């Protein structure tokens, strides 16, 4: 049986530029760049949004309050989605993989980023299943996240290759028996997958 390939989204399939949003927010806030970066990259409000506990409008209000910003919802969404960018080379490779493999998406995401990605990044059409943190109330690297994915796929861990740019996420998956690869570059990914597929 061909392995199921499970991809992370941000930092693997699409580019992430947190600095872009942070720089813009810094001009709109009286808070420091470092404070804002910590909040938007890994802060509790963002985590709540990725768990599905906040609607996009609630997230907008909470972040604006936390960062002391006064910005309308529409422009805020443009800034928030502006951190995402396509990667044509990996998209082409993923579409090639999709011809002979089951592809699964496993992402810590929110109700703003994922709809934007679906609309703007055609590579996502290559995926058979999407496992999204904001729909699961679970975040990687929580082992429960991976247990849920395996249960829904009705497959064994050994039949899965998990690719993520965060070491902690890959280690968590490996601890459950999945084959794990830390994404560093497309060339390295191709080389590693050649040995596994």
Q: Mean pLDDT, 10 residues at a time, over the chain (197 residues)? A: 90 97 97 98 96 98 98 98 97 96 98 98 97 98 98 96 98 97 97 89
Residue-wise pLDDT for 115-131, tens only, equals: 999 999 999 999 999 99
Same domain, residue pair 71 and 118: no
CB-based contacts of 13: which residues, under 8 Å, 6+ apart? 7, 87, 90, 91, 94, 105, 121, 123, 124
Same domain, residue pair 121 and 44: no
Domain boundary among 81, 97, 127: 81
Same domain, residue pair 48 and 126: no
How far is it, in rounded angstroms, from Cα 166 to Cα 140?
A: 10
Total Cβ atoms within 10 A of residue 156: 12
Same domain, residue pair 160 and 89: yes
Same domain, residue pair 132 and 185: yes
Same domain, residue pair 112 and 156: yes
Domain that holds residue 38: 18-81
Domain boundary among 46, 62, 81: 81
Same domain, residue pair 38 and 10: no
Residue 107's CATH number:
3.40.50.1000
Same domain, residue pair 53 and 116: no
How far is it, in rounded angstroms, from Cα 100 to Cα 57?
A: 40
Percent helix, percent strand, percent coil in the chain, to nearest 5: 55, 15, 30
Same domain, residue pair 62 and 130: no
Structure tokens at 50: 């990725």
Which pLDDT does position 1 carry in this prediction? 58
Helix (H) or strand (E) holding 85: strand 84-86
Which pLDDT does position 93 carry in this prediction? 98
* Contact (Cβ atoms closer than 8 angstroms) between residue 39 and residue 68: no
Domain boundary among 81, 115, 130: 81
Q: How many domains does the chain have?
A: 2
């Amino acid at each position: 049986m061909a392995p199921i390939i499970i991809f992370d989204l941000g930092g693997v399939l699409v580019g992430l530029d947190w600095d872009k949003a942070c720089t813009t927010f810094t001009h709109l806030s009286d808070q420091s760049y470092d404070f804002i970066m910590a909040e938007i990259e890994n802060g509790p409000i963002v985590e709540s949004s990725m768990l599905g506990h906040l609607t996009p409008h609630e997230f907008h209000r909470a972040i604006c309050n936390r960062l002391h910003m006064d910005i309308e919802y529409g422009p805020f969404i443009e800034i928030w989605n502006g951190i995402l960018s396509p990667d044509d080379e990996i998209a082409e490779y993923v579409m090639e993989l999709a011809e002979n493999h089951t592809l699964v998406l496993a992402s810590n995401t929110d109700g703003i980023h994922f709809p934007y990605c679906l609309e703007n990044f055609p590579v996502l059409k290559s995926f058979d299943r999407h496992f999204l943190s904001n729909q699961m109330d679970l975040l990687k690297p929580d082992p429960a996240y991976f247990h849920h994915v395996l249960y829904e796929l009705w497959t064994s861990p050994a039949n899965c290759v998990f690719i993520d740019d965060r070491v902690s996420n890959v280690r968590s998956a490996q601890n459950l028996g999945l084959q794990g690869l830390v994404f560093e570059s497309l060339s390295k990914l191709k080389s590693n997958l050649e040995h596994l597929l």
